[in-house]
Structure 1
Amino acid sequence: MLTLDEIQLPIKEHLKRFEKTFKASMQSSAPLLDRITGYLIKQKGKQMRPMFVFFSAGVSGGITESTYHGASLVELLHTASLVHDDVVDNSNERRGFFSINALWKNKVAVLVGDFLLSKGLLLSVKHKEFELLRIVSEAVEHMSEGELLQIEKARHLDIEETIYYEIIRKKTASLIASCCACGASSAGADEDTVEKLRLFGEKVGIAFQIKDDLFDFGLDDVGKPVGNDIKEKKMTLPLIYALNTVAKSERRKIINLVKNHNEDTEKVAEVIEFVKSNGGLEYATERMLQYQQEAFDILATIPNGGEFKTGLEQLVRFTTERKK
C-alpha cells in the first residue's frame, strides 16, 4: 500500500501552498486565540480532506484559486467540529495531543470552535464562494443530525443496520462528500459531475467509517482489545450484524453487557469475542469493500482525469487498507 506522502505527489505543491493559506485564515488579533490556533496547526492530521478537494478539482477541470478557498473552508469547519466534539465527548486527547478543552477548559474550547466557524463563513463571503459555502454548510447540518441520531439511539441500543448507515452517512460520510463536491465545483464542473463526485465521496466516507469500526475490535499498542465503541455504547456494524445472527436470549445478554457493564474490561472483551465468533468482522469488511467498489464505479464514469483520478483511487484504497 502506498503512503499518503506518495499518494499526494501530484498535488504536493498545492498542499504546501494550502497550508500557508489555511494558517493565514485562522489568524486573530486576540493573543489567546492566536496561541490556540497555533497549537491546532501543530496537530496537523493526514490532510486527507484537502487531498480529496484537490484531487476532485483535478479530475473535474483543474485546480483553481477557488479550490484553495474550498479546501480552507472544509478544514476550518472540520477543525471547529473536532474542537466541539471533544467538549461533547469530554475527551482530553486528540491526535496524540491534549485537546483544547483539556488545556483551556470547555468555555474557551466552545468559543474557539465558534471562531473557526465564523472564519469559514467570512472566508466564503470575502471571496464570494457562495456555492462552496452551501455545500459545506449542508455537510455540517448533516453531521449534527448524525451525532444527535446516534445519541438518541444509544439510549435504547436498538440500532438496525439501515439506521446505522443513516448515522454514518450523515456523521462521517457527508464531510468527505462535501470535500469532493467542493473540489468539482471549484473547477467549474457541471451539476452532474459535482453530484457524481459528491456521491463518490459519500461512498468513500461510509467505507472509511466501517474501517474505523473494525479497528475497535483489534488490539491496542500493548496487545489488548480496544473496545472503545463498546465502552461508549456505540452500536457499530460488526456488533449489529453479530446480534442479528443469534437467538433473542443471546442478543439480550450481549445488549445488557454493552448497556450495563461497558466499563468492565472482561465484559467488553466478552462482547468483542462474541462479535468475532459470529462473523461480525467478516461481514463488516465485506460491506466496506462493497462501498469502496461502488465509489470506484462512480469514478470510472468520469472521463479522463489522468494522475488526479489515479490519486483518488489510491486515496480510496488507503482509507480501507490503513493500519490506524
Structure 2
Amino acid sequence: MQGVAEMIEKEAVKMQMKEIVTASFSVPSLKESVLTSIEEHTKQSDFLFGRLAGVHYQIFSENMKETERIAASVELMMLAGDMLDDLVDQDSLETTWNKAPLTTSLHIAIGLLLAGQKAIVDLLIDDHKKAKAQLYISSRLLQSVNGQHMDVTYDIQTEAEYIEMVKKKSGSLVAMACFVGTALADAEKNTVIIEKYANDIGIAAQIDNDMDALYRWDEKNDIKAKKKSLPILYMLTSKRDNLLKQYFSNHVDYNELYVQKEKVIQQMEQEGAFYYAKVMSQIYKEKALQEIEKLDVNDRYKSALKMIIL
C-alpha cells in the first residue's frame, strides 16, 4: 500500500507554496525575500502542519485533488507564525526574516499569513466548506496568540500551568491544521477525537522543541528570556542546588550563566531533566495514537496519521 502520508510529498508542497507566493507578491524584492524564506523553512521543517491538513482532507474526502494546495496554504500560515515568534523572541538570527529590516520582516510574515488564507479561499471547493475552514483558522490562530502571550509574559510555576499554556500555543495550531482538512472535506463527526489528539500532538511537539532550544543557546533565547519549559521546571523543583536555580533566583546573571552553558546542560542531563521531558513527550504521543485508533475511518488512514506523529 502507498500510504496517504507519502502521497503528500514535501517537494511538491514547497512548489505549491512558491506558486502561491509568486501570485501573491508583486514587488520583486519582497517576493525574492519570501521565496528565500520558504527555502530556509523547507530545510528546517518537516511540514507537520501542512501534512496534517492534507492528510485529514484525504481521510475524510478520499480525494487527492487540491491536497498539496491545502498543505501549502496551511504551511505558509505556519511559516508566518514562526517568523513572528522569532521576531518577538529574537531567535534564529541568521534567517532571511531576522536579517532584514523589521518593516520588511513584518511585511513578509503578514503577507504569508494573508497569502495562505487567500489560497484557501481560491480552492476549487464548495464555498460553505471553505467558510468553515476559515472559521477554524481565525479561532485557532487567536487561541494560539493567547498562548504565545502567556509564554512570554506569565510567570509559569507548575507543570500544569505549562501544559495549559502549550495547549493554547501549540495544540491550537495542530487542531487548526487538522480541522482545516476536515472542514474542506465537510466532515464533522470525529471532531471531539481530533481535538484530543491534536492537543496531544501539539504538547509533544512543543516539549521536543523546548528541549532542542536548550541545546541551541546561540540560536534560541529561551533561557535568556527565562522561559520555564518542562526541563527548566524540573530543575527548579530539584532538591539539589544548580546553576539554573541560581539564575532564575537572580543570584547569577545571564552572562555568568552563558559562560558555564556546558555545565548547565551537564547538570540537566545528570539530574534527569531531559529524560523526564522525553518521557512526557512520549506519553503525549501515545495518548494521541490511542485517540487516533478511535477514529471511524479505514485502518490505512489511521496508519497514515500515526506515521506523521512518529
Shorter chain as denominator, the TM-score bin is 0.7 to 0.9
Shift of 1:66: 5.7
Asked whether 1:214 is paired with 2:207, we answer no
Partner of 2:161: 163
C-alpha offsets along residues 167-224 of structure 1, whole Å, 9 cap, x if unaligned? 222222221221122222222222x313322321221111111122233455x6xxx9
Q: 1:175 aligns with which of 173, 176, 181?
A: 173
Query: TM-score scaled by structure 2?
Result: 0.82
Partner of 1:146: 147
Instruction: Rate the CA distance shift 1:263–1:226 in 2: closer, same or farther, 3 A.
Output: farther
Q: Tell me the secondary structure at the aligned position of residue 197 of structure 2.
A: helix
Partner of 1:112: 108
Instruction: Rate the CA distance shift 1:67–1:247 in 2: closer, same or farther, 3 A.
Output: same
- Between the aligned partners of 1:283 and 1:277, the Cα distance in structure 2 is 11
Instruction: Rate the CA distance shift 1:99–1:34 in 2: closer, same or farther, 3 A.
Output: closer
- Between the aligned partners of 2:55 and 2:112, the Cα distance in structure 1 is 24
RMSD: 3.2
Shift of 1:10: 3.4
Shift of 1:67: 4.3
Q: Which amino acid aligns with 1:135?
A: Y
Matched ranges for 1:1-324 at <5 A: 10-12=6-8, 17-27=12-22, 28-43=25-40, 44=42, 45-63=45-63, 65=65, 67-68=67-68, 70-91=70-91, 93=93, 98-102=95-99, 104-127=100-123, 128=127, 129-153=130-154, 157-190=155-188, 192-218=189-215, 229-246=222-239, 253-256=246-249, 260-261=253-254, 264-317=257-310
Paired residues in the alignment total 299
* Contact kept in structure 2, 1:180 and 1:201, CA below 8 Å: yes
- Between the aligned partners of 2:21 and 2:62, the Cα distance in structure 1 is 26
Shift of 1:236: 0.9
Percentage identity across paired residues of the two chains: 21
Shift of 1:81: 1.6
* Contact kept in structure 2, 1:173 and 1:202, CA below 8 Å: yes
- Between the aligned partners of 2:83 and 2:221, the Cα distance in structure 1 is 20
- Between the aligned partners of 2:70 and 2:270, the Cα distance in structure 1 is 45
* Contact kept in structure 1, 2:136 and 2:176, CA below 8 Å: yes
C-alpha offsets along residues 253-275 of structure 1, whole Å, 9 cap, x if unaligned? 35236973356334444443443
- Between the aligned partners of 1:91 and 1:254, the Cα distance in structure 2 is 20
Q: Tell me the secondary structure at the aligned position of residue 101 of structure 1.
A: helix
Gaps of 5+ in 2: none
Gaps of 5+ in 1: 1-5, 318-324
- Between the aligned partners of 1:150 and 1:241, the Cα distance in structure 2 is 17
